């Protein structure tokens, strides 16, 4: 059974089908990419997966359970976390405080525990703090624990945003154009970071325009154009697909991409 299965989802805005009958799946431990030209429907798919948009047709199942049309908070608690194209960290908060925001989606104490600082509150806060430290150490961010997010280099801010998503105890991380705004060196470091996430057992769904990143880290790729899926396959297959080249890559557009690692 696939970890995430998208079955014929459709989204209509004012009579216009932004997404029509799109299907794909993500298995445990994979890095899957969704690509397509601007306006292809990628962001609409992303927003349906994360509960921002309602699904007008089809279904989304996660671990065998229907999750479409559930509120974003419920989807996060089900095990799906997201990052954003524009980094949405809290810049004047410390690194560990940003990660603790992800941890707090799963705390079990109530308002009165917080108000009166009950033993339950103190115990859960201590455990959340330790989990945050352990996570940052595992992602080689331990040296920045007490630094402010705004002081981190751009690439490290991306890593911190992913760390915050992981802190929700997510089983699937959806990355929205994580390489946006990065220079070539930062993109290379990002690829190594995403590979390291897979090595520790994480599952990644990537929406990305940087074809060097996509072709080098993806296990499989789905291509969307005008709201429809036009191709799926291995990176080498997608790079040679005439319909994909016509719709998105352009002639020779994938020529600079390296072999899939």
Domain boundaries, the chain: 1-79+172-261, 88-170
- CA nearest 11: which of 191, 227, 182? 227
Please give the pLDDT value at position 87.
84
How high is the pLDDT of residue 248?
A: 61
pLDDT at 250 over 60: no
**CATH number, span 1-79+172-261:** 3.40.50.300
Quote the CA–CA distance of 245 and 198 in Å, as a whole number.
Answer: 28
Convert the pLDDT of each residue in 218-249 to its tens digit: 999 999 999 999 999 999 999 999 999 888 65
pLDDT at 253 over 60: no
CATH class for the domain made up of 88-170 = alpha beta
Q: Same CATH fold, 88-170 and 1-79+172-261? A: yes
255: tokens are 């020529």
* Whether pLDDT at 145 is above 80: yes
pLDDT of residue 19 exceeding 70: yes
pLDDT, averaged across the chain: 91
Query: What's the pLDDT at 249?
Result: 54
């Amino acid at each position: 059974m696939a970890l995430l299965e998208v079955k014929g989802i459709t989204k209509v805005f004012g009579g216009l089908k932004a997404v029509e009958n799109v299907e794909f799946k993500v298995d445990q431990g994979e890095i899957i990419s969704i690509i397509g030209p601007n306006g292809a429907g990628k962001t609409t798919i992303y927003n349906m997966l994360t509960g921002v948009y309602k699904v007008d047709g089809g279904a989304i199942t996660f671990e065998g359970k229907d999750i479409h049309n559930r509120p974003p908070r419920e989807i996060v608690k089900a095990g799906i976390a997201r990052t954003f194209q524009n980094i949405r960290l809290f810049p004047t908060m410390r690194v560990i405080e940003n990660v603790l925001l992800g941890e707090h989606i799963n705390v079990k104490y109530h308002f009165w525990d917080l108000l009166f600082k009950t033993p339950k509150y103190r115990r859960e806060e201590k455990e959340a703090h330790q989990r945050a430290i352990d996570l940052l150490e595992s992602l080689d961010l331990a040296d920045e624990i007490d630094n402010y997010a705004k002081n981190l280099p751009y690439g490290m801010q991306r890593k911190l945003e992913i760390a915050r998503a992981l802190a929700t105890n997510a089983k699937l991380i959806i990355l929205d154009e994580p390489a946006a705004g990065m220079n070539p060196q930062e993109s290379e470091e990002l690829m190594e970071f995403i590979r390291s996430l897979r090595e520790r057992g994480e599952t990644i769904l990537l929406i990305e325009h940087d074809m060097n990143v996509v072709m080098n880290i993806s296990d499989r790729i789905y291509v969307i154009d005008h709201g429809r899926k036009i191709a799926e396959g291995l990176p080498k297959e997608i790079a040679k697909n005439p319909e994909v080249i016509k719709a998105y890559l352009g002639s020779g557009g994938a020529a600079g991409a390296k072999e899939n690692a």
